[in-house]
Amino acid sequence: MRVIQAEEITKNIKEMCIEANHFLSQDVKSKLYEACDKEDNKLGKEILGQLKENLKIAGDEMIPICQDTGMAVVFLNIGQDVHIEGANIEDAVNEGIRQGYDEGYLRKSVVKDPIERENTKDNTPGIIHYRIVPGENIEITVAPKGFGSENMSKVYMLKPADGIEGVKNAILDAVAVAGPNACPPIVVGVGIGGTFEKCALMAKYALTRELGSHNETEYVAKLEDEMLEKINTLGIGPAGLGGKTTALGINIETYPTHIAGLPVAVNMCCHVNRHIRRTI
């Protein structure tokens, strides 16, 4: 049994919130630069160039990449041989978020109640997902999620008879309806299977998977390539102003489901697909 102090979790979460909001992960950054080189629409290429410049300024001057510094989404893979001392783990995570958004001078965007709308003034609570795994480590993924793209996300409760073509149509429908509102170029996370809530969780987690990687299941990997190509023929382009770079990537996750269902979730993210992962 390994003992981890809660303050260590807090410290890492704080640092990760700040880092994720100021520096784009290398996989997303590489895809953005690659897209800028390949884009042949004049206005689209200009927009991508501005996004590149924005990244440089953010890193050089420690200014957030985007004014919407997001709601902090945290995935915790907790080793079953870990014991946490010093505080409740949820309190430790939220304290890390609070410190990160306060000390990093990041915009506080969370309200206490969805109807009354009073700001919590420290960007807590975060959205925390727990998973118990073998081992004696804790893997932490912090993914601040802005709501311009989040608001354009969708869940489709398809019929089994809709099949793979229904899934393809759902993905394309979500992207087409989002249009410029998801701040393209986008990254698309898709969850197929499970239940209403499971497919949405998979879609969210899919956004944290390295761009350019593929699902281990062969047909899903082929589906990722096919859908990226189809999305980029929609002509939405950077900032919705035209071009062939509507999406930088699409990651798809699947899970067993009920004989009567085919749930599909499409979680949109703008090019500021912030995610950072550490193991303690």
Task: Report how far apart, in Å, the C-alpha atoms of 185 and of each of 163, 231, 242, 266, 275 are.
Answer: 28, 11, 11, 15, 17
176-178-183-184 Cα dihedral, nearest 10 degrees: -20
Domain 2-20+65-145, what architecture?
A: 2-Layer Sandwich (3.30)
Distances (CA, A) of 187 to 12, 29, 195: 26, 12, 23
pTM here is 0.96
Structure tokens that stand for 246 in this block: 């509507």
Calculate the alpha carbon distances from 42 to 36, 45, 127, 144, 180 in Å: 10, 5, 39, 31, 17
Task: Please say whether the beta carbons of 170 and 158 come within 8 A.
Answer: yes
Buried b (16+ CB within 10 A) or exposed e, 7-32: eebbbbbbbbbbbbbbbbbebbbebb
- The helix/strand/coil state of 194 is strand
Provide the residue-wise pLDDT of the chain in tens; the chain has 280 residues.
899 999 999 999 999 999 999 999 999 999 999 999 999 999 999 999 999 999 999 999 999 999 999 999 999 999 999 999 999 999 999 999 999 999 999 999 999 999 999 999 999 999 999 999 999 999 999 999 999 999 999 999 999 999 999 999 999 999 999 999 999 999 999 999 999 999 999 999 999 999 999 999 999 999 999 999 999 999 999 999 999 999 999 999 999 999 999 999 999 999 999 999 999 9
Output Rg (C-alpha) for the chain, integer angstroms.
19
Question: Do the Cβ atoms of 95 and 12 come closer than 8 Å?
Answer: no
Q: Which residues of 116-125 are buried (b: 16+ CB within 10 A; e: fewer)?
A: eeeeeebbbb
Residue with tokens 């429908």: 173
Residue boundaries of the structural domains of the chain: 2-20+65-145, 148-278
Nearest-angstrom CA–CA distance, 169 and 188: 14
Going by C-alpha positions, the residue among 165, 154, 142 that lies closest to residue 188 is 154
